[in-house]
Amino acid sequence: MKKRWVIALCALLAAGYCAGGQPDDMAYVISMAVDRADPDQIEISAQVPSIVEGDQDPGHVFMSAAGATFAEALDVLEASSQRRLNLTQIKTLILSRELAEGDGCADLLRDMLFTEQIFGDAHLVMALGSARELLAAQKAVIGMRLCHSVEAAVRHYQDHGYAPRATLSDVYFRLCATGSDPVAILAATADASHTRALPPGGMGRAWPGSLPRQGENANEYVGCALFAGGRAVGLMDGMEEELRGVLAGETGTVNRSLGGAWARLSLTRRKIRVDTAEDGPKIDIYLAFSMESGAVAPDRAVLCRQMEEEIISLIETCRSLGAEPFGFADIAARNFLTLPDWEAYGWRSRFPGASLRVKVEIG
């Protein structure tokens, strides 16, 4: 009896494997870009590694298709591919700025998230220009396969605090929730069309595509796109993203320079209180850092005042855009026993008028 069960189980597994297809029959999409082809068309572009034998870098192929909706464009892409598309290995989903800032952005994200095989933990990227062009410029780093290279590049910028840890599911579900607003990774290709002057003080003040450097892979992931009301409403550069990440509890390091002196600050304490009084919310922020510097250290008192001013300015900018990407709402919601009570408080309408107190200390 036991032997028959084992044979039956093996047969079922074999049948499932065959139904799924052999690996050589699959086109494993590593990254996908979505653009507006014309006012009535969505264009999907996909980057797929070629299949070769051995350990050599297989290279990749690039293909695209258009349709009236994301689903229709994906159907056309599947039908025109010479191998069956497999979307389970997607590392980055790239939206053009035009689509991200459009009224249909939330619906598009929903369609992408609930597409079979597309996992919600793929990095969500907003290209400053064309998503297709950003994807086409994506190349493997020497010694790495493309699928690992893409992941390593994004993680590298995130580890430095210059890019947020934003996934498709993060952004979509925060757009639908009553808490703080989401952000997406901001990216561009290093060429003249996106270049902005790099000001004194380091690359944190840079925008993607503007770093004074050269390299095989021209794509840069610096800063973030702010979302509110179902679409992208503004941008943050790398240094602003550092501060946003610290305030949101997502990162703990900040790089700063002052009068030619450089410092790396590591967060040692973060305390944020939000008082949801009826006369208006009160936000109290306290951040303490330890400092690592070069031969000449910046003046701590001056640097503290500078950072306090930067935080207040950043929050005011976001208020003017109708966005709150700092996690303040998530803290404020703890003051309410039920979701209806929290929703009735009307955080989104109250946040622009909230009083603000910021204190930074550097030990």
CA distances from 276 to 251, 270, 318, 343, 348 (A): 26, 20, 20, 13, 12
Residue 297 pLDDT level (bands cut at 50, 70, 90): confident
Q: What is the pLDDT of residues 107-146, one digit of tens each?
A: 999 999 999 888 889 999 999 999 999 998 887 766 567 6
Enumerate the β-bridge partners of residue 231. Answer: 228
Q: What pLDDT is attached to residue 204?
A: 60
User: Does pLDDT of 354 surpass 90?
Assistant: yes
User: Does pLDDT of 314 surpass 90?
Assistant: yes
Q: What pLDDT is attached to residue 209?
A: 75
Superfamily in which the 252-363 domain is placed by CATH: Nutrient germinant receptor protein C, domain 3 (3.30.300.210)
Taking the C-alpha atoms of residue 314 and residue 239, their distance in angstroms, rounded to an integer, is 10
Taking the C-alpha atoms of residue 323 and residue 315, their distance in angstroms, rounded to an integer, is 9
Determine contact, residues 227/181, Cβ cutoff 8 Å.
yes
Q: What pLDDT is attached to residue 11?
A: 39
Percent of the chain with pLDDT over 90: 52
Q: Two tokens at 196? A: 């902005």
Percent of the chain with pLDDT over 70: 83
Average pLDDT of the residues of the chain: 84
Residue 18 pLDDT level (bands cut at 50, 70, 90): very low
Q: Which range among 42-51, 69-78, 299-308 shows the weakest confidence by mean pLDDT?
A: 42-51
Taking the C-alpha atoms of residue 251 and residue 289, their distance in angstroms, rounded to an integer, is 12
Domain residue ranges of the chain, discontinuous segments joined by +? 23-239, 252-363
Determine contact, residues 73/61, Cβ cutoff 8 Å.
no
Residue type, 128: L
Greater model confidence, 267 or 14: 267
Q: What pLDDT is attached to residue 218?
A: 80
Helix-helix angle 300-321:238-247, to 10 degrees: 90
Instruction: Give the helix/strand (H/E) hosting 47.
Output: strand 41-49
Task: Give the chain's largest Cα–Cα span.
Answer: 81
Taking the C-alpha atoms of residue 315 and residue 355, their distance in angstroms, rounded to an integer, is 11
Taking the C-alpha atoms of residue 64 and residue 80, their distance in angstroms, rounded to an integer, is 9
Q: What is the mean pLDDT of residues 52-61?
A: 57
Determine contact, residues 262/293, Cβ cutoff 8 Å.
yes
Q: What CA dihedral angle connects 25, 31, 37 and 40, to 10 degrees?
A: 80
Q: What is the mean pLDDT of residues 250-256?
A: 88
In 3D space, the residue among 94, 184, 77, 92 whose CA is nearest the CA of residue 131 turns out to be 94
Question: What is the 3-state composition of the chain as percent helix, strand, coil, each rounded to the nearest 5?
Answer: 35, 30, 35
In 3D space, the residue among 307, 292, 288, 284 whose CA is nearest the CA of residue 357 turns out to be 284
Q: What is the mean pLDDT of residues 7-34?
A: 58
Q: What pLDDT is attached to residue 141?
A: 67
Taking the C-alpha atoms of residue 163 and residue 159, their distance in angstroms, rounded to an integer, is 8
Entry pTM: 0.85
Q: What pLDDT is attached to residue 185?
A: 95
